[in-house]
Amino acid sequence: MSVAAVTEYRGTPKDTQDQFHGAQLTYIGWIDHLMFCAPFAFPLPPDMPFGAIVEAVLPGAVGTHPDFASIDWSSVEWTKNGEPFTPDLSASLADNGMRHKDSLTFRTPGLTGVKGSST
């Protein structure tokens, strides 16, 4: 059943970057690891090195997963907003082209969830 709006929707977003005190929202999801049902949203500073996601952000968020310690970060496949992405770990999020509310996913070849649950 289709629905037609009677009037144009006019709303003011409440999650614009200026609401995050200099940070930008970054959504990060781990493909094939359904222990975490949805991507996490992190308010991250644009000048933070991308490598800090690997070294500081992800261990605190998904480090309890049994596969986490086995990740070969040199073989991780990244996407940004659904497109293949090769980050420069030493460059900032901004220098990697990351913007407010961008979505990152990472796939870890050979690791497919608890006891292969994602295969």
**Using one digit for the tens of pLDDT, what is the confidence trace for 30-45?**
999 888 888 999 999 9
Pair of tokens at residue 91:
């460059």
What pLDDT does residue 90 have?
98
What pLDDT does residue 71 have?
96
Give the distance from CA 98 to its chain's centroid.
11
- Confidence band of 104 (pLDDT split at 50, 70, 90): very high
What pLDDT does residue 74 have?
95
Q: How far is CA 74 from CA 56, 70, 89, 113, in A?
A: 17, 12, 11, 19
pLDDT in tens, 50-96: 999 999 999 999 999 999 999 999 999 999 999 999 999 999 999 99
Tell me the domains of the chain and their CATH numbers: 22-116 (3.10.20.560)
Work out the average pLDDT over 7-12.
84
- Confidence band of 105 (pLDDT split at 50, 70, 90): very high
pLDDT at 5 over 80: no
Let me know: does 28 contact 42? Beta carbons within 8 Å.
Answer: yes
pLDDT at 116 over 80: no
What pLDDT does residue 118 have?
74
